[in-house]
């Protein structure tokens, strides 16, 4: 049985599962509630398990589970023995639970039963799956489909996401707000215009061949720990790793490879970067422009002296469009502006540019430090422009690499979670299903919030995630959710979003990726996911389900669909019972998914071809396009008043959290223990504010819309961060992020540049 190839084989690879075990043991010793994870750690190493931690590629997928400390946390978090049964909800009203912390809610353990919120008692009460589906179906049938918001979080498998978009489009809307709207949306928008596809162009193997790797606005030590091993290998073989990060992040300075000695648990031992620059928040576009300016000047000098040119004339002529306009703009941009916005000197940028100019193969990676600003799309275009200059795309060891967040956020987009679905997808769906698909674009996250606030959205359905805590302006979002007639959440653990149920709320407990999913014939099911390098592979669970009542995400989506749109077009029961059937449908609709069921069952799965990585640019010009954009008139850093108390704040992740899930209260690499209500600040700025280490402060957003956004009692932590810049943790700081401040064309909340005022709290 093909499905069974994913279980029961012992790994011969070193490190891998054995090391995971010891790593897990350490974790479990310090964290009793996770003791249940041992069951899983004792299990045989399964072939083909996709870590729910992050979207970094896995070189040995299918033969060993490449792990990292934070991957273990993600797995252990799901494998807890603790349960949230109906009695828990009988004991605690929703109003009471709202006063709990994010940490306390999720630490109660796994949800076990479908629950329905009864406004009369203010409690969630048990409900049968069928009664719940029927009630939701009846409600949805009574609404205009555009009055419903269908959210997706990026852990959902390709199968669940594809079935969900099929259901929602048959129902009649493109309202697909999803977590990528808050995440890498700017990368998708910018890369589509620049290279004709909104995805990265590198494979994991390219990291072994690059001469230089530029890492912009990303903290892999915490968020993509397996990437550190690749960076360390790169520096070990003499490649340059050039980091641009506002904070001095420990993992980007040195790193110990857990595959070797579990050194990672005690801190780094080999360099991960060779140069480290700390731009001001929002200063990366200026930094990239400064480097380009240096490259152009050096190229001109080389040609004048009769030396080999520095820019790649052949590539630029044959494959790109718009160089001259951009070059003119770069040359016209004064160094004073570049230095002021980036906070880096011409000398700094010259050192970085020299690395670029002497490297024959360069990779640029980036994440949220680039994508969560107003000018994120422009910044990614500037980075792409810079990379084009030496033809760093579409060849070995070179390329553009947005490092994705959730383990399947890229896959969800590929299979149709997109409020602005490509015409080709809708055409293919129509052809396959024989019924018209909705053609008007739907709501992204911000539009969904707008519709909820306006009262035009009536129902919210969440396939995973924690919409209420992941979105900005927490207080406003709570008001928006409260107005809803109905909420439906598919989840593994209880979170704050579930405590904003509207008039009627449902919480559906689902199987996690670590759990064995058997169909009615007892056949184990696998799901599939796509990583940051466009590799698509299978993943099968290894643990017994947390409760006999759990359903797979696929089965829950099918249940909702059947009750809402009926089974005339799609046989939902058949889909719910056999993921192969869903994959058969996908293979007929999605380009590149032929023989899907076979190709996901080989080690590493298969690569979804990216034409840009072979220099085939599917843009209107059929070339890679230079983007010519002015630098921001002012970055938020520049907008600060000329007083010692105004700052620009970024909101980011600690080492012990997964987005809104707080595993523990520590942030080891940054030296913070037992608390999260902190704000990192430059010691010189502490003097200006007359605060000492440990003092508490109040932070108020400099709002332009009259809404007061304030948090108090946050402890200042002196840190290596540029003056005028602050950093702290999300979701606690989301109360300060205005929902109406977002990126140009990406509509991503500007979570990395919030203009704030800080005052010292009375002792
Ligand atoms: N363990 C763990 N893994 C995760 C996650 C998690 O929460 N926990 N989340 C997942 C998800 S959904 C995502 S999107 C990714 C997120 O991965 P990251 O993007 O690494 O996440 P953040 O914690 O937001 O870190 C942002 C980094 O950018 C830097 N930065 C901020 N602003 C600027 C700027 O203007 N310029 C520059 N150059 N640097 C800047 C910050 O100092 C910080 O190091 O990780 C994924 N993986
Ligand atoms: N201020 C600020 N805000 C941000 C960010 C930031 O950097 N700063 N980052 C943004 C980014 S990059 C992202 S991606 C979003 C994240 O937004 P979301 O994806 O909405 O949030 P998560 O915290 O990842 O969701 C956690 C919940 O998912 C559920 N869950 C976990 N595993 C599963 C599963 O297998 N199936 C199902 N159905 N549910 C599951 C659990 O109930 C858990 O409580 O937040 C964004 N918000
Ligand atoms: Mo993300």
638-760: CATH class: mainly beta
Atom of ligand 1 nearest to the CA of 727: 42
Cα–Cα distance, 3 to 7 (Å, whole number): 8
**pLDDT value, residue 39:** 41
Starting from the CA of residue 75, give the closest ligand: 2
Cα–Cα distance, 156 to 159 (Å, whole number): 8
* Centroid of ligand 2 to alpha carbon of 38 (angstroms): 25
Torsion, Cα 342 346 351 354, to 10 degrees, reads 100
Whether 734 lines ligand 2, by a CB cut-off of 6 Å, is: yes
Whether 281 lines ligand 1, by a CB cut-off of 6 Å, is: yes
* Centroid of ligand 3 to alpha carbon of 409 (angstroms): 8
pTM: 0.94
Closest residue CA from atom 33 of ligand 1:
369
Encoded tokens for 655 = 């080492």
**pLDDT value, residue 258:** 55
Assess whether pLDDT exceeds 50 at residue 709: yes
Starting from the CA of residue 653, give the closest ligand: 1
Give the residue-averaged pLDDT of 473-487. Answer: 96
Q: How far is CA 66 from the centre of its chain?
A: 20
Cα–Cα distance, 575 to 557 (Å, whole number): 10
**pLDDT value, residue 67:** 61
Closest residue CA from atom 11 of ligand 2:
183
- For 715-727, write each residue's pLDDT tens digit: 999 999 999 999 9
Q: How many helices (H) and strands (E) does the chain have?
A: 31, 28
Whether 493 lines ligand 2, by a CB cut-off of 6 Å, is: yes
Whether 341 lines ligand 1, by a CB cut-off of 6 Å, is: no
Encoded tokens for 376 = 């994120």
Give the residue-averaged pLDDT of 575-598. Answer: 96
Assess whether pLDDT exceeds 70 at residue 4: no
- pLDDT band of residue 593 (cuts 50, 70, 90) is very high
- For 616-636, write each residue's pLDDT tens digit: 999 999 999 999 999 999 999
Give the residue-averaged pLDDT of 124-129. Answer: 98
Lowest mean pLDDT among 42-56, 191-205, 469-483: 42-56
DSSP character for 58?
-
Whether 406 lines ligand 2, by a CB cut-off of 6 Å, is: yes
Percentage of the chain exceeding pLDDT 70: 91
Q: Please enumerate in sequence order all residues whose Cβ is within 8 A of that of 31, keeping only pairs 6 or more positions apart, or say none.
A: 76, 663, 664
Starting from the CA of residue 278, give the closest ligand: 1
**pLDDT value, residue 478:** 95
DSSP character for 305?
T
Closest residue CA from atom 7 of ligand 1:
658
Domain with CATH 3.40.228.10 in the chain: 185-402
* Centroid of ligand 1 to alpha carbon of 234 (angstroms): 21
For residues 39 and 709, the model is more confident at 709
Q: How far is CA 623 from CA 295, 397, 618, in A?
A: 22, 21, 7
**pLDDT value, residue 256:** 61
* Centroid of ligand 3 to alpha carbon of 406 (angstroms): 6
- pLDDT band of residue 118 (cuts 50, 70, 90) is very high
Assess whether pLDDT exceeds 60 at residue 547: yes
* Centroid of ligand 2 to alpha carbon of 223 (angstroms): 13
Does an H or E element contain 709, and which? none
Torsion, Cα 656 659 662 667, to 10 degrees, reads 30
Whether 658 lines ligand 1, by a CB cut-off of 6 Å, is: yes
Domain with CATH 3.40.50.740 in the chain: 83-181+408-512+544-608
- For 327-367, write each residue's pLDDT tens digit: 999 999 999 999 999 999 999 999 999 999 999 999 999 99
Cα–Cα distance, 274 to 329 (Å, whole number): 30
Whether 252 lines ligand 1, by a CB cut-off of 6 Å, is: no
* Centroid of ligand 1 to alpha carbon of 64 (angstroms): 27
Whether 490 lines ligand 2, by a CB cut-off of 6 Å, is: yes
Closest residue CA from atom 37 of ligand 1:
217
* Centroid of ligand 2 to alpha carbon of 356 (angstroms): 36
**Ramachandran area for residue 96 (φ above 0: left; ψ -120 to 50: alpha; else beta):** alpha
* Centroid of ligand 3 to alpha carbon of 218 (angstroms): 12
CATH code for the part of the protein at 185-402: 3.40.228.10
Assess whether pLDDT exceeds 60 at residue 61: no
* Centroid of ligand 3 to alpha carbon of 690 (angstroms): 36
DSSP character for 221?
H
Starting from the CA of residue 669, give the closest ligand: 1
For residues 539 and 329, the model is more confident at 329
- For 220-270, write each residue's pLDDT tens digit: 989 998 898 899 899 999 999 999 999 999 888 877 665 554 444 444 457
**pLDDT value, residue 36:** 43
Domain with CATH 2.40.40.20 in the chain: 638-760
* Centroid of ligand 1 to alpha carbon of 25 (angstroms): 27
For residues 641 and 560, the model is more confident at 560
Assess whether pLDDT exceeds 50 at residue 64: no
Whether 372 lines ligand 1, by a CB cut-off of 6 Å, is: no
Measured distance between the N- and C-terminal CA atoms of the chain, rounded to whole angstroms: 67
Assess whether pLDDT exceeds 60 at residue 31: no
- pLDDT band of residue 402 (cuts 50, 70, 90) is very high
Whether 279 lines ligand 1, by a CB cut-off of 6 Å, is: yes
Question: Candidates 51, 71, 182: which one to mutate for ligand 2, based on the most atoms within 8 Å of Cβ?
Answer: 182
Atom of ligand 2 nearest to the CA of 494: 42
Whether 165 lines ligand 2, by a CB cut-off of 6 Å, is: no
For residues 65 and 53, the model is more confident at 53
**pLDDT value, residue 29:** 44
Residue in the structure block whose two tokens are 């590629």: 57
Give the residue-averaged pLDDT of 550-568. Answer: 98
Beta strands in 82-143 (DSSP E): 83-84, 110-111, 115-118, 123-126
How many beta carbons lie within 10 A of that of residue 439, not counting itself?
10
For residues 183 and 34, the model is more confident at 183
CATH code for the part of the protein at 83-181+408-512+544-608: 3.40.50.740
- For 407-424, write each residue's pLDDT tens digit: 899 999 999 999 999 999
Starting from the CA of residue 55, give the closest ligand: 1
Cα–Cα distance, 377 to 548 (Å, whole number): 46
Average confidence score pLDDT of the chain: 90
- Report phi then psi at 250, rounded to 5: -55, -45
């Amino acid at each position: 049985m093909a499905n069974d190839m994913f279980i029961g084989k012992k790994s011969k690879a070193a490190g891998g599962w054995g090391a995971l075990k010891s790593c897990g043991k350490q974790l479990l010793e310090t964290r009793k509630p996770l003791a249940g994870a041992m069951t899983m750690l004792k299990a045989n190493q399964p072939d083909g398990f996709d870590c729910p931690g992050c979207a970094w590629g896995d070189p040995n997928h299918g033969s060993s589970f490449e792990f990292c400390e934070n991957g273990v946390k993600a797995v252990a978090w799901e494998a807890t023995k603790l349960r949230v049964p109906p009695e828990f909800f009988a004991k605690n009203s929703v109003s009471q639970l709202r006063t709990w912390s994010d940490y306390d809610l999720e630490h109660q353990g796994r949800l076990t039963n479908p629950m329905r919120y009864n406004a009369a008692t203010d409690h969630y009460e048990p409900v049968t799956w069928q009664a719940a589906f029927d009630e939701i179906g009846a409600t949805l049938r009574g609404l205009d489909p555009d009055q419903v918001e269908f959210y997706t979080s990026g852990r959902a498998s390709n199968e669940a996401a594809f079935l969900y978009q099929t259901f929602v489009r048959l129902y009649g809307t493109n309202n697909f707000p999803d977590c990528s709207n808050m995440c890498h949306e700017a990368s998708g928008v910018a890369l589509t215009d620049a290279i004709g596809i909104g995805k990265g162009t590198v494979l994991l193997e390219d990291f072994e061949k690059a001469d230089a790797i530029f890492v912009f606005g990303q903290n892999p030590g915490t968020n993509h720990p397996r990437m550190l091993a690749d960076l360390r290998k790169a520096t070990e073989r003499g490649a340059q790793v050039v980091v641009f990060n506002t904070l001095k992040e420990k993992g980007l300075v040195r790193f110990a490879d857990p595959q070797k000695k579990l050194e990672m648990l005690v801190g780094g031992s080999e360099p991960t970067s060779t140069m480290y620059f700390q731009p001001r928040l929002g200063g990366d576009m200026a930094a990239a422009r400064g480097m380009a300016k240096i490259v152009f000047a050096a190229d001109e000098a080389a040609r004048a002296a009769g030396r080999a040119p520095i820019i790649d004339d052949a590539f630029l002529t044959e494959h790109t469009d718009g160089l001259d306009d951009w070059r003119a703009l770069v040359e016209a941009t004064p160094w004073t502006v570049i230095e002021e916005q980036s906070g880096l000197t011409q000398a700094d940028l010259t050192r970085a540019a020299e690395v670029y100019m002497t490297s024959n193969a360069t990779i640029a990676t980036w994440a949220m430090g680039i994508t969560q600003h107003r000018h994120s799309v422009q910044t990614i275009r500037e980075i792409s422009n810079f990379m084009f200059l030496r033809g760093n795309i579409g060849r070995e060891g070179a390329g553009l690499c947005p490092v994705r967040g959730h383990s399947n956020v890229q896959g969800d987009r590929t299979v149709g979670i997109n409020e602005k679905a490509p015409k080709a997808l809708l055409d293919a769906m129509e052809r396959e299903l024989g019924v018209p698909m909705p053609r008007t674009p739907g709501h992204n996250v911000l539009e969904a919030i707008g519709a909820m606030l306006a009262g035009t959205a009536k129902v919210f359905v969440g396939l995973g995630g924690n919409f209420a805590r992941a979105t900005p302006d927490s207080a406003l979002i709570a008001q928006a959710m409260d107005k809803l007639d109905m909420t439906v959440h598919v989840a593994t653990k209880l979170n704050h979003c579930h405590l904003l149920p509207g008039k009627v709320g449902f919480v559906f407990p689902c199987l996690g990726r670590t759990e064995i999913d058997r169909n009615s014939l007892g056949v184990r099911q696998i799901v599939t996911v796509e990583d940051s390098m466009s590799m698509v592979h299978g993943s099968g669970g290894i643990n017994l389900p947390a409760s006999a009542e759990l359903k797979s995400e696929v089965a829950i989506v099918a249940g909702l669909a059947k009750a809402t749109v009926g089974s005339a077009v799609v046989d939902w029961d058949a889909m719910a019972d056999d993921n192969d059937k869903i994959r058969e449908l996908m293979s007929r609709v999605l380009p590149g998914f032929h023989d899907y069921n076979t190709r996901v069952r080989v080690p590493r799965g298969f690569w979804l071809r990216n034409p840009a990585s072979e220099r085939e640019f599917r843009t209107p010009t059929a070339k890679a396009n230079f983007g010519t954009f002015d630098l921001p008139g002012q970055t938020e850093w520049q907008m600060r008043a000329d007083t010692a108390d105004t700052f620009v704040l970024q909101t980011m992740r600690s080492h012990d959290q997964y987005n809104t899930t707080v595993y523990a209260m520590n942030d080891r690499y940054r030296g913070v223990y037992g608390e999260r209500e902190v704000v990192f600040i430059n010691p010189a700025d502490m003097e200006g504010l007359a605060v000492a280490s440990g003092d508490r402060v109040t932070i108020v957003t400099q709002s332009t819309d009259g809404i007061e956004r304030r948090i108090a009692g946050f402890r200042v932590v002196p840190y290596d961060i540029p003056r005028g810049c602050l950093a702290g943790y999300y979701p606690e700081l989301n109360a300060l992020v205005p929902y109406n401040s977002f990126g140009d064309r990406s509509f991503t909340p500007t979570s990395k540049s919030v203009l704030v005022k800080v005052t010292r709290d009375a002792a």
